[in-house]
Amino acid sequence: MKIAVSGKGGVGKTLIAGTLARMFAKDGFNVLAIDNDSAMNLSYTLGIDSETKEKIVPISEMKKLIEERIAVNGAGPGVYNINPKVSDIPDRYKISGPDGLQLLVLGSIEEPATGCLCPENALIRTLLYNLFVKREEVIIVDFEAGLEHLGRGTAKGIDVMLVITEPSQKSLDLCNKIIDLSKKLGVNNIYLIANKITDDTQRDIINKRIEDWEVPLYHSIPFDFEIGKADLNGESPIDFNQDSQGIQAIKNLYSKLKKLKKEIIDL
């Protein structure tokens, strides 16, 4: 199952992606978590130990690797291979985390509106395609806010797109755009998730706003002080307090996704 998590900065993408990854892994699934956010803090939520964390170099910063893969022999500057070999990269550079899960830190690339086909972009795009379309694990990607480097081919490999919102109109605006783009790219299962909810009024307002959207509110996760405390302690929220309301709500989301997996994949 390939799961992409998207939404505005700060809405809880990393919390949800990382905690779901841990839950799949605890259940015995082979999990490869992918950090494709510029903040690159998925390793915290996953609970990767600090020694390992310090050594992480995102793929997007591996200049030599990028050079080597995209170089075209004999060609001058500015000419490079836009379809580099990447199939060995995940296994070479993934790192091990708790419950047997693996993490691959892609890093992210500033992509100008004009759609720069820089070497780094070519490599990351091809890698995302490889991960979504060719791999067998449960793959969970913590995405950059926009979906700029999501091509049509890659989008087809996404089984579930989780679009996260917090109770704010700005965040819902971006969700609207992401849902639109995901549909255009051919993603079939798009689910809206509300995070940091403090009361029913907020859910009502969200439901009102999305009345005419084709994507209903799939799940909601309460605001939970325990998650903030975990953050401050530098601990993974699921290790800090797995019984907290927020983690329990993500657990319910996990159960729903597992059921969905049976329906759409294990048929």
Least Å from the CB of residue 37 to Mg ion:
4
Q: Is the dihedral of CA 182, 139, 197, 48 positive or negative?
A: negative
| Residue 144 touches ligand ADP, criterion: CB under 6 A | no
* Pick 130 or 195: Cβ nearer ligand ADP: 195
* Pick 14 or 121: Cβ nearer Mg ion: 14
| Residue 11 touches ligand ADP, criterion: CB under 6 A | yes
Backbone angles phi, psi at 7, to 5 degrees: 145, 175
Cβ–Cβ < 8 Å for 21, 46: yes
For 141, the enclosing helix (H) or strand (E) is: strand 138-143
Which of 2, 13, 22, 125 contacts ligand ADP by CB under 6 A?
13
Instruction: Please state, in angstroms and rounded to a whole number, the distance separating the CA atoms of residues 13 and 250.
Output: 12
Cβ–Cβ < 8 Å for 126, 151: no
* Pick 13 or 53: Cβ nearer Mg ion: 13
Instruction: Please state, in angstroms and rounded to a whole number, the distance separating the CA atoms of residues 3 and 139.
Output: 6
| Residue 196 touches ligand ADP, criterion: CB under 6 A | yes
Is residue 261 classed as helix, strand or coil in its secondary structure? helix
What residues numbered 10-49 form the site for Mg ion, per CB under 5 A?
13-14, 37, 39
| Residue 223 touches ligand ADP, criterion: CB under 6 A | yes
Enumerate the β-bridge partners of residue 149: none
Is residue 197 classed as helix, strand or coil in its secondary structure? strand
| Residue 22 touches ligand ADP, criterion: CB under 6 A | no
| Residue 12 touches ligand ADP, criterion: CB under 6 A | yes
Chosen from Mg ion, ligand ADP, none, partner binding at 32 (C-beta under 5 to 8 Å by type): none
| Residue 224 touches ligand ADP, criterion: CB under 6 A | yes
Which residues contact ligand ADP by CB under 6 A?
7, 9-15, 195-196, 221, 223-224, 227-228, 231, 246
